[in-house]
Structure 1
Amino acid sequence: MKRSSKSRNGNPTTGPAANTGAGAGAGKGRGRGRIQALALAAALCCLGALLGFGAVLEGYSHRLHPPGLLGADGIAHAAAFNLLGFVVPGLLLAAVAWRLRERLRSGGAMARIGAWLWCLSALAWAAQGGVSLDPTDLDAQASRLHAAAWMLWWLAFVAGAALLAIGARGLPAWRGLISVEVLSGALVLVAVLGADIGVLPAPVAQRLALLVWLIAYVATARGERSGD
């Protein structure tokens, strides 16, 4: 005689259906945990590369020099920094944003476009590792491409943060992230514009924008754990 999946009072009991539901929930939980781990690994890799390679380069100052100088042509260990500081973190965070796009399908076009822009921002960060600065000629093609990738990086992030905040309003489980998106987008914008008008030293502003950018991805990936 087969065991019923429900007890006499109608409440579900252990059975194939219950086991299937539990397995699906566990699978989702593991998937979200992996995305959070990717975001955290990207942040640690990027910051570790910036601090580590900056410490071993004689004369390098985080207060006076841009992060991209560590990967510039002619600088010791430039290829390793470009890989660990730009390419790997950028690709990892692009994967995080891609997963975020899938999770926000029910949030409408605004949320999905915002996630796409965050994916583009992460890819633009990775691209900076492939077009190294030329410290002897900032007007060289490679230097211009590096600057263009930097501009695309912050523009895509700020626009994406605004759209994600708008899209999250229609998703109750994601509303807690609205403040994260708004604050991170505003801080990156203020840092970049502050450097342009001379209110903040450019190297300091660049590091502030980078730190906020990384925190935003980690916080959003962490928030996704309660996204169901």
Structure 2
Amino acid sequence: MSKLKVLAWAGPVAALVWVVAVMVFGARLDGYDQLRHPISLLGARGVPGGELFSAVGFIVPGLLAALAMFDLVLRMPASAPRTLRVGGQMLLLACVAFAAMGLLPLDVDDIENRASQFHASAWLLWLVAFCAGAIALRMGAGKGSPWRSLATLAVVCAIWSACSAFLFQAAMPVAMAQRMAFLGWLVWLLGAWRLLPRR
């Protein structure tokens, strides 16, 4: 398999690794409820298997997603609008922020301390970079552009993630709203693999 094909598959693999990690580690942690507890708790300091989940559930998927977004940027022609390029770079930054959540885990003994605040900041950076990147990508994909379908998907997924993070939690448990936000990003990674313009 060529390096280009490996990059193209990085997004779907990232999504698969994340889903499997959440399901497996959630099932192994005594008392953990997928409907009530946040995903970040699986990787928190002081939680059995927390360090391993941080690596498998955040760092590995984040780096794989970053490879996928790097492939996206490499596919952009030299004549691509600057807004399109900025969008790709912001989407790449979102992946780095996702991986950073694993490097900056919550502290289960004190969710208000600095370590937990750093984790929350990484989560917010992920969401903001994802939304900003999607908007920029859409603005840079003019009518008739081969990037238009991809950019539209990015905006739809980003809107879903933002609404899940800030609006849906009023009608559902925060843990579920968080999962819905991550779902938007996973759909983006899977859809981007299908809609990427050819080199």
Offset, 1:33:
2.9
Aligned to 2:106: 133
Q: Specify which of 141, 144, 167 is matched with residue 140 of structure 2.
A: 167
Counterparts of 1:200 and 1:158 in 2: how far apart (Å)?
Answer: 22
State the 1:168 CA deviation. 2.0
Higher relative contact order (CA 8 A, sep 6+): 2
Secondary structure at the counterpart of residue 146 of structure 2: helix
Cα offset for 1:201? 2.0
Q: CA deviation at 1:174?
A: 2.2
Q: 1:90 — aligned with what?
A: 62
* Unaligned runs of at least 5 residues, structure 1: 1-26
Query: Counterpart of 1:128 in 2: which secondary structure?
Result: helix
Superposed structure 1 runs of 4+ greater than 6 Å apart? none
Residue 199 of structure 1 and its aligned partner are, at CA, apart by: 3.1
Helix, strand or coil at the partner of 2:147:
helix
Which amino acid counterpart does residue 45 of structure 1 have in structure 2?
A: V
Map of 2:198 onto structure 1: 227
Q: 1:208 to 1:79 in 2, by over 3 A?
A: same
Deviation of 1:209 after TM superposition, in Å, equals 1.1
CA 1:206–1:91: 2 relative to 1, 3 Å? same
Contact 1:113/1:163 (<8 A) preserved: yes
> Partners of 1:136 and 1:80 in 2: how far apart?
18
Matches within 5 A, 1:105-124: 105=77, 106-124=79-97
Contact 1:177 1:223 in 2 (8 A): yes
Q: CA RMSD for the aligned pairs?
A: 1.8
8 Å Cα contact 1:107-1:171 kept in structure 2: no
Tell me, in whole angstroms, the C-alpha distance in 1 between the residues paired with 2:62 and 2:144: 27
Asked if 1:146 corresponds to 2:119, the answer is yes
Q: Residue 107 of structure 1 aligns to a residue in which SS? A: coil
- Identity percentage of aligned residues: 34
1:81 aligns with 2:53: yes
Query: Which protein has the larger Cα radius of gyration, Structure 1 or Structure 2?
Result: 1
Partner Cα separation in structure 1 for residue 137 and residue 158 of structure 2: 10
Q: How far 1:147 moved relative to its partner?
A: 0.4
Say whether 1:183 aligns with 2:156. Answer: yes
- Decide whether the 8 Å contact of 2:161 with 2:183 is kept in 1: no
Tell me how far 1:144 sits from its aligned partner.
0.5
**Cα distance in structure 1, aligned partners of 2:43 and 2:138:** 34
Amino acid at match of 2:198: G
What displacement does 1:149 show?
Answer: 0.3
TM-score w.r.t. structure 2 length? 0.92
Contact 1:101–1:111, Cα closer than 8 Å, also in 2: no
Which segments of 5 or more consecutive residues in structure 2 lack a partner in the other structure? none
2:14 is equivalent to residue 42 of structure 1: yes
